[in-house]
């Protein structure tokens, strides 16, 4: 993240990620035996990332799946899953590769941050998950983690927002970030003016290497008037990806788009699975007529399907409920929340709190990344889930420790929580 780290400690982006990052009181250990808002609904299982030999804060001292200092990782976030060859691949965000922080977490001493890689990838055994993984393999160059989508000139970082496997190709949606810092937060909840555009990248080797596609690209044009910066955000600067049945039948790639930042609504687009790389094939939800969706070729005509605020999001198909589940960060509620809908365009249920991001020990949490494709006719497809389908797994990050955790959500408990 380069300059992002030092700037964000006091920047509004931290507050946007669920208020300030305070150290939990020791009494949080007893409270946190549930690991979540409601242990029947949500369980946080283990740390997927983090160096060995550092004592985690009370309540966050969970088992460590793999000491990441062995591959040069001091801290990283996100962990966006997608399936490949019977395993699960996870895409991570800005990755701190500084091995010398003297036993301190990032927010305790910002001077030890860096150097920063823009992203990283790890492999978990699959296809079904059963608690904390016993093995994690990282994509490395020599003995050090290597980015799978490198920066280009003028970029501070390249941040993944979603990923999906379509046939023998992995597509990932990402943001091109020009800079990090408190000046990036636009007024009037318009997003992050330092994000330059959203785009798709393609991998044909299971995510070990991604290449940028020239199109489609969701530009965020900036204009400067004196000291004020204004811009247009079509709502697809970042997007969760999901594979499912298209409106007219056949397999489609669905994009659940949000503006840069964490304060805008969620919008919807789709493209036939065989035309992902053709920008003319994309259709954006422009409205509903008697409950039926209407589509436009213009992203600027896309209407919200979920009201603001929508932070990091993911969408997965739950065959036992015949419903889509949306996991997202709600900065107003200071929580990760979940909603259900029979179709990608809704109607989406009122959100259910999955994990509190405003109270110790999870104050400063963000993310909520899962995966679940809809097979033909609504069949099971592939899911980041337990073998019996009772638990949907997801990743969550914590700003204070800058680590990523593996958690799971009870499908039956979620259905009961949203029932009228």
The answer to whether residues 100 and 13 touch, using CB atoms and an 8 Å cutoff, is no
Peptide bond just before 127 cis, omega within 30 deg: yes
The answer to whether residues 235 and 265 touch, using CB atoms and an 8 Å cutoff, is yes
Taking residues 215-232, report their average pLDDT. Answer: 61
pLDDT score of 31: 26
Q: How far apart are the first and last CA of the chain?
A: 44
Average pLDDT, the chain: 83
Taking residues 158-184, report their average pLDDT. Answer: 91
Q: pLDDT > 70: what percent of the chain?
A: 80
pLDDT score of 238: 95
pLDDT score of 141: 85
The answer to whether residues 393 and 384 touch, using CB atoms and an 8 Å cutoff, is yes
Q: Which residues pair with 409 in a beta bridge?
A: 42, 392
The size of the chain, in residues, is 420
The number of beta carbons lying within 10 Å of the beta carbon of residue 379 is 11
Question: Would you give the distance in Å from CA 257 to the centre of its chain?
Answer: 12
Which residue, chain included where needed, has tokens 């408990």? 413
The model's pLDDT over 13-71, given as tens digits with 9 standing for 90+, comes to 222 222 222 222 222 222 222 345 578 899 999 999 988 877 778 888 899 998 888 88
pLDDT score of 376: 76
* CA 202-259-159 angle, 5° bins: 40
Taking residues 237-252, report their average pLDDT. Answer: 95
Comparing C-alpha atoms, which of 14, 64, 98, 89 is closest to residue 331? 14
Comparing C-alpha atoms, which of 356, 364, 338, 342 is closest to residue 416? 338
In this structure, what are the phi and psi dihedrals at residue 252, rounded to the nearest 5 degrees? -135, 155
Which is higher by pLDDT, 181 or 70? Answer: 70
pLDDT score of 185: 64
The answer to whether residues 193 and 231 touch, using CB atoms and an 8 Å cutoff, is yes
Cα distance between residue 45 and residue 36, in whole Å: 10
pLDDT score of 70: 85
pLDDT score of 381: 76
For the ranges 145-149, 223-227, 357-361, the one whose mean pLDDT is highest = 145-149
What CATH code is assigned to 3-418?
2.115.10
Q: What Cα–Cα distance (Å) separates residue 310 from each residue in 43, 83, 238, 288, 375?
A: 22, 25, 11, 21, 27
Confidence of residue 199 (pLDDT cuts 50, 70, 90): very high
Question: Would you give the distance in Å from CA 418 to the centre of its chain?
Answer: 23
């Amino acid at each position: 993240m380069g300059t992002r780290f030092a700037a964000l400690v006091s920047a509004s982006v931290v507050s946007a990620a669920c208020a300030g990052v305070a150290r939990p009181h020791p009494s949080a250990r007893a409270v946190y035996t549930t690991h979540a808002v409601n242990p029947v609904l949500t369980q946080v299982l283990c740390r997927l990332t983090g160096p060995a030999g550092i004592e985690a804060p009370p309540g966050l001292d969970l088992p460590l799946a793999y000491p990441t200092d062995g591959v040069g990782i001091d801290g990283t976030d996100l962990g966006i899953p997608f399936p490949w060859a019977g395993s699960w691949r996870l895409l991570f965000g800005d990755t701190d590769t500084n091995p010398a922080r003297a036993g301190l977490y990032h927010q305790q001493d910002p001077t030890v941050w860096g150097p920063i890689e823009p992203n990283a990838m790890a492999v978990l055994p699959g296809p079904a998950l059963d608690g904390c993984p016993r093995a994690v393999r990282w994509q490395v160059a020599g003995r050090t983690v290597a980015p799978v989508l490198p920066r280009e000139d003028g970029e501070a970082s390249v941040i993944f927002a979603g990923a999906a496997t379509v046939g023998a190709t992995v597509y990932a949606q990402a943001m091109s970030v020009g800079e990090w810092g408190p000046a990036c937060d636009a007024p009037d909840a318009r997003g992050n003016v330092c994000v330059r555009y959203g785009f798709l990248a393609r991998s044909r080797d299971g995510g070990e290497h991604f290449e940028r596609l020239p199109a489609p690209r969701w530009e965020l044009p900036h204009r400067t008037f004196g000291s004020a910066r204004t811009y247009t955000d079509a709502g697809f600067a970042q997007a969760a990806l999901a594979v499912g049945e298209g409106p007219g039948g056949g397999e489609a790639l669905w994009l659940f788009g949000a503006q840069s930042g964490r304060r805008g609504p969620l919008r919807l687009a789709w493209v036939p699975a065989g035309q992902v790389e053709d920008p003319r094939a994309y259709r954006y939800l422009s409205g509903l007529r008697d409950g039926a969706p209407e589509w436009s070729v213009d992203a600027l005509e896309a209407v919200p399907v979920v009201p603001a605020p929508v932070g990091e999001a993911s969408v997965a198909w739950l065959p036992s409920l015949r419903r889509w589940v949306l996991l997202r960060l709600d900065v107003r509620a200071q929580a990760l929340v979940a909603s259900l809908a029979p179709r990608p365009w809704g109607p989406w249920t009122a959100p259910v709190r999955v994990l509190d991001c405003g109270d110790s020990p999870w104050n400063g949490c963000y993310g909520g990344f899962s995966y679940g494709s809809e097979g033909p006719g609504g069949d099971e497809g592939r899911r980041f889930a337990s073998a019996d389908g009772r638990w949907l797994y997801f990743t969550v990050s914590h700003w204070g420790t800058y680590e990523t955790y593996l958690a799971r959500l009870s499908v039956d408990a979620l259905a009961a929580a949203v029932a009228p």
